[in-house]
Structure 1
Amino acid sequence: MQKPKRLQKGDTVGVIAPASPPDLTNLSNALPFLHSLGLNVMIGPNVKRTYGYLAGTDRERVNDLHQMFRDPAIKGIFCAGGGYGTSRLAASIDYNMIRRNPKVFWGYSDITFLHTAIQRQADLVTFHGPMLSSDVGKPDFDDRSKQRFTQLFHPETFTYTNETSPLQVISRGTASGRLVGGNLSLLVNSIGSPYEIDTKNRLLLIEDVGEEPYRIDSFLSQLKLAGKLDEASGIVVGDFSETEPKKKKETIELQEVFRHYFADLQKPVLSGFRIGHCLPHYAVPLGVEAELCSSGKYLRIAAGVQ
């Protein structure tokens, strides 16, 4: 896996909207934060476009992504928001061009499909972290989430411990491997495609929002049937928010669903990580080596930049 070069003060970063239309007010409110990091900002030419539930047509969104990767003056790329639409772009992306122009690529949620595709097709480390319109531009965006942006400016090993947030052990053990994954529903969406999530000997990160326990059960069932849980060296359970049952009056508690799928895996599975649709949201690099330990209750993650 190729690590992108670290950012430096004075660098210019690009902003794209590869999924749904971003909230433009929130996007505008987020820009001072990037400026406070010493960065200049270039907004993609199609970021303000809309095409129904998409932030422009597929061609427009791919063009913005390609432009930002091709332009040598752009040192990093931040996604404005998620929603839906990145899976529609995967087959049109020039991954060889991305491989020749490695740079920081940052986002989460629906951006998971792009993380998985870029890692598989271009061997590039990417970053699972808060987005400009969805998170940074909102009044409640917190200091702990902001602090994790500093990893882009210098290589640093990050150790997430029980002191970072309370962690629960679902299955015991210690394992290492590249950290991969992201939004659970998008990972399931990748199965059967050329961009399918590869979990073999890897630590699998999962998170999601707005999904009831029965839906999360169905997603985990698909991963299990596809062999993704057995192949993984360990499971990192991130934040699952807004999971209260609305359609199904009778339910199984989410933690019990997790135990059904993870308790007998004979590999480390820990939950409680504040990674995902939550505050604080601890940004992490994907594609780097990591270690998950149940006895020490920690996840140690290598630096994502060089």
Structure 2
Amino acid sequence: MNVHICAPAGSCRRYLEGLGVPSAAAFLDRVRFWLRGEFSVTGDPRLLETDEDDRRGGRRDDDARAEDLMQAFADDATRAIVALRGGAWLTRVLPRIDFSLLDRRTTPVAVFGFSEITSLVNLVACRRFGRGVLDLGPAFIHYGLKRFDARYAGTDATPDGAELEAQTARYFADVCAMLTGVGSSRPLPIRVLEGTVPPGPRVRFVGGNLAVLAATLARRDYEEQIFGDAQDGDAGATARWLVLEDVNEAPYRIDRLLAHLTLAVVWRRVDGILLGNFHHGAEDLLDAVLSLLPHHLGADRRLPVVGCDRIGHVWPMSPLPVNFPIRVDLDCSGRGALTVNWGDFASC
């Protein structure tokens, strides 16, 4: 069984330099060492460390990135596709990707990523043998650790290579645990922010990064796939909730992005909202987002809203499977956790 490592959005060159590895090929060898005896590792070093220039179109390998993903889709031995980072430049590539390749699979494949990878995670999770997990790309660990230290430890130190390597190794061990049904070691604590959550519901979450989701929904067939019925026959047994997070967007821009969802009539297609982390620099914007929501939901649409500080551009971050039944466990105080049956996630 293979774990395919890719960079379908931003280049990972700076991350590899911070990790202290001389090349993408050396990084792949390091991951092979971490996963020895469990999974083989594939990946194209050229696509991991390519040049990018945000003033000259970003990346110039759109066809190659699409082909890299499609080869992984078509390979039944590939059980996971791990996007090393988000960043940019993927959403424009989506029309070049043939997602119907997933329909020919006989084994499940899970895509791990967040931020710019939001669209890919959701569109893969729409397929019978597709799994999608909103989870940090390892390249985010550097930023996440630095922000965490600045916020909670009062330091602005840059994480050293040894710490980054240890955290990256833990990340890949966690991916393996999810793929084998053991499950992630990172919990998903939640708390009710608005409204009432029915007792003990099973929920399918869709969405992720607000800006990327808004762009993805501009294509009608993508919208229908993401918000359509589940392909495993369990759609009637679970509610559909929308998960949203974003980073470094001012409140007026968040309002504009929410308006895109309003104009797309998304709020009528979901039963609740999960808000992850919203921040702009050091400023927490969760309260601002809560204040914006009523303007979009309208007086006749009162959806329950819960929050999870472990979802989004935040450290530590916890993995959230998309379009997969998850139990919502809450106590009388409105606090609790999301519970994932990882055995079912790993099975066919």
TM-based fold match above 0.5: yes
Indicate whether 1:83 and 2:94 are aligned. no
For the 8 Å contact 2:112–2:132, the answer to whether it is kept is: yes
* Equivalent runs, 1:1-306 vs 2, <5 Å: 11-22=1-12, 23=14, 24-26=16-18, 32=30, 35-38=33-36, 39-44=39-44, 45-53=46-54, 54-101=58-105, 102-120=108-126, 124-135=130-141, 139=159, 146=171, 148-149=174-175, 150-154=177-181, 156=183, 164=189, 167-174=191-198, 175-193=201-219, 194-196=221-223, 197-198=226-227, 201-242=239-280, 253-258=288-293, 260-261=295-296, 265-292=301-328, 295=332, 296-297=334-335, 298-303=337-342, 304-306=345-347
TM-score, reference length from structure 2: 0.70
How far does the alpha carbon of each residue in 1:133-192 deviate from its partner, in whole angstroms, 9 at most, with x for none?
22279746697984753222215599956xx4x634222222543221111111111223
Q: Which segments of 5 or more consecutive residues in structure 2 lack a partner in the other structure?
A: 22-26, 146-158, 230-238
Q: Partners in 2 of 1:190 and 1:123 — Cα distance?
A: 21
Q: Partners in 1 of 2:310 and 2:255 — Cα distance?
A: 21
Give the 3-state SS of the residue equivalent to 1:125 in structure 2. strand
Q: Partners in 2 of 1:284 and 1:131 — Cα distance?
A: 13
* Equivalent in the alignment of 1:249: none
Q: Which segments of 5 or more consecutive residues in structure 1 lack a partner in the other structure?
A: 1-10, 246-251
Pair member with larger Rg: 2
For the 8 Å contact 2:202–2:325, the answer to whether it is kept is: yes
Give the 3-state SS of the residue equivalent to 1:211 in structure 2. coil
For the 8 Å contact 2:126–2:323, the answer to whether it is kept is: no
Distance 1:268 1:155, change over 3 A: farther
Between 96-105 and 25-34, report the one with greater CA deviation: 25-34
Distance 1:75 1:272, change over 3 A: closer
How far does the alpha carbon of each residue in 1:206-258 deviate from its partner, in whole angstroms, 9 at most, with x for none?
1111111111111122212322123201111111122668xxxxxx9344224
Quick one: higher RCO (CA 8 Å, sep 6+), 1 or 2? 1
Residues paired across the two proteins, number: 287
Between 16-25 and 286-295, report the one with greater CA deviation: 286-295
C-alpha deviation, 1:73, in angstroms: 4.6
Percent of aligned pairs with the same amino acid: 25
Between 132-141 and 146-155, report the one with greater CA deviation: 132-141
Q: Partners in 1 of 2:272 and 2:174 — Cα distance?
A: 23
How far does the alpha carbon of each residue in 1:91-139 deviate from its partner, in whole angstroms, 9 at most, with x for none?
2212222232341211111001112332346662211111122227974
What code does the residue aligned with 1:19 have?
A
How far does the alpha carbon of each residue in 1:30-62 deviate from its partner, in whole angstroms, 9 at most, with x for none?
765674344443222422223534444211111
How far does the alpha carbon of each residue in 1:238-292 deviate from its partner, in whole angstroms, 9 at most, with x for none?
11122668xxxxxx93442245556964332112331111111001211201244
For the 8 Å contact 1:158–1:301, the answer to whether it is kept is: no
Q: Partners in 2 of 1:262 and 1:299 — Cα distance?
A: 24
TM-score, reference length from structure 1: 0.78
